[in-house]
Amino acid sequence: MAVMTYREALNEALDEELARDPSVFLMGEEVAEYDGAYKVSKGLLDKYGPKRIVDSPISELGFTGLGVGSAMTGLRPVIEFMTFNFSFLAIDQVINSAAKTLYMSNGQIGCPIVFRGPTGAALQLSSQHSQACETWYVHAPGVKLVVPGTPADAKGLLKAAIRDDDPVAFMEGELLYNVKGEVPEDDDFVIPLGVADIKREGDDVTILTHGKMIHVALQAAQKLEKDGVNAEVVDLRSLRPLDVDTILESVKKTNRAIYLEEGWSYVGVGAQISSIVQEEAFDYLDAPILRVTQADVPMPYAKNLEQIAKPGVKHVIEAVNQVLYR
């Protein structure tokens, strides 16, 4: 095992896949000369040249469409959005072109493409740059959605996404790039899409979550343990396809569950997960499943208000105590 940052794990995954498959290329704003806005593509231009590490103009709709077209003709583009908030300018290409082409062509035209970049809030970037974008993309059939929370998951899932024959939205936590963790030293380390991971075993309550919030969940679980509560933390990692079996097995074991997500509650990811749990594991629940989310407001700029709006350890503990009737 090697210890590396989330950023370095992503860089290593890109490097290995570019070396393995000459049809893979990276395109986006500042990915080449500047080494990426978050330095994920550091050193790749020097190694692979400007035909495979391509700086784009500030035109998300344009360069995303170019990537979609190239995927339809046999290449495997990785399109980087400086932030997934900017992807809204290109969502027509993602949802109306990439996601639907295989279906509308009766299986004749595929679109193996990865759309990647940071999602969610960082620190005081205000409303237009602080949105958790998962719900917009997970809603559409034809697009897979992956949200890794650790360096190992970032590497293994990105490699799987690049090799996948379908469009994949790959969302990275904006505050995770400097987080360190162990990553297998293996050029062929791939984590299959649609497989959740139990990050912490427990018996009393299930905390379901994904992406950056896995770290909040683990911190809350540590504090709960001091109070005699043994929480199981399930990292979904992939929201589409979704590992329903692991979710249900955990809930059937603990009989109580909460869903933690960075986005808003209204029609959020947690609403879908809650529906699945209620439909498939209702007889095993000893309390209604609860959701912990961002406050139902655009993200404030003021630091004190931003902290209040974000879901945190305190909110998770309160929800756990509520489903345990404590």
Q: At residue 153, does pLDDT exceed 90?
A: yes
- For residue 66, CA distances in Å to 10, 56, 90, 260 come to 23, 10, 11, 36
Comparing C-alpha atoms, which of 38, 143, 127 is closest to residue 95? 143
**What pLDDT, on the 0 to 100 scale, is given for residue 41?**
98
76-80 vs 24-28, strand pairing mode: parallel
Residue 192 lies in a domain: no
Among 12, 17, 60, 262, the active-site one is 60
Query: What is the extent of the structural domain holding 203?
Result: 197-323
Residue 129 annotated to the active site = yes
Alpha carbons 190 and 203: distance in angstroms, whole number = 30
**What pLDDT, on the 0 to 100 scale, is given for residue 62?**
97
Helix ranges (H only) for the chain are: 6-20, 44-48, 60-72, 91-92, 101-104, 134-138, 151-163, 213-226, 244-254, 269-281, 303-309, 313-323
Segment 1-41, tens digit of pLDDT? 899 999 999 999 999 999 999 999 999 999 999 999 999 99
Alpha carbons 258 and 256: distance in angstroms, whole number = 7
> Does 126 share its domain with 23?
yes
**Site of tokens 């503990």:** 317
The last residue of a domain, from among 130, 156, 183:
183
CATH number of the domain encompassing residue 285 = 3.40.50.920
**What pLDDT, on the 0 to 100 scale, is given for residue 187?**
87
**What pLDDT, on the 0 to 100 scale, is given for residue 24?**
98
Q: At residue 81, does pLDDT exceed 90?
A: yes
DSSP bridge partners of 172:
118
Mean pLDDT of the chain: 97
**What pLDDT, on the 0 to 100 scale, is given for residue 302?**
95
Comparing C-alpha atoms, which of 213, 148, 168, 162 is closest to residue 9? 148
Q: At residue 231, does pLDDT exceed 90?
A: yes
**What pLDDT, on the 0 to 100 scale, is given for residue 29?**
96
Please give the average per-residue pLDDT across 241-267, as a whole number: 97
**What pLDDT, on the 0 to 100 scale, is given for residue 140?**
94
- For residue 57, CA distances in Å to 31, 61, 66, 90 come to 11, 10, 12, 13
Residue 189 has which token pair?
């380390």
Residue 189 lies in a domain: no
Crossing angle of helices 6-20 and 151-163, in 10° steps, is 30
> Does 203 share its domain with 116?
no
pTM (two decimals): 0.96
Q: At residue 177, does pLDDT exceed 90?
A: yes
**Site of tokens 């990692």:** 237
CATH number of the domain encompassing residue 118 = 3.40.50.970
Please give the average per-residue pLDDT across 206-218, as a whole number: 98
CA torsion 227-229-230-233 (nearest 10°) is -100
Please give the average per-residue pLDDT across 98-115, as a whole number: 97
**3-state class (DSSP) for residue 114:** strand
Residue 60 annotated to the active site = yes
Residue 129 has which token pair?
């740059």
Structural domains counted in the chain: 2
